[in-house]
Amino acid sequence: MNRPNGLPNDGYALIVDGQVKTEFKTREGAEAGARDLKRRFPVLQIRLYDAEAKQAVELA
């Protein structure tokens, strides 16, 4: 279930250019998805949101 702001209550999410796009159950899956997106579209700003820690980190 998502919060009103679109962020998940559990797991991980990719935030692409400021918008929540995809949710993942594991950090490994989220990181793999982020790496794939960044490889295909290097100009995108991609952040990984951790629902447990309630914080997002920018991925290089």
Q: How far apart are alpha carbons 9 and 42 in whole angstroms?
A: 28
User: Which neighbouring-strand residues pair with 55?
Assistant: 50
What are the pLDDT digits (tens) for 3-39?
546 889 999 999 999 999 999 999 999 999 999 999 9
pLDDT in tens, 38-50: 999 999 999 999 9
pLDDT at 2: 55
Q: Which residue has the tokens 């998502």?
A: 2
DSSP assignment letter at 15: E
Total-model pTM: 0.84
Three-state SS for 28?
Answer: helix
pLDDT at 59: 77
SS3 content of the chain, % helix, strand, coil (to 5): 25, 35, 40
Place of tokens 């997002």: 56
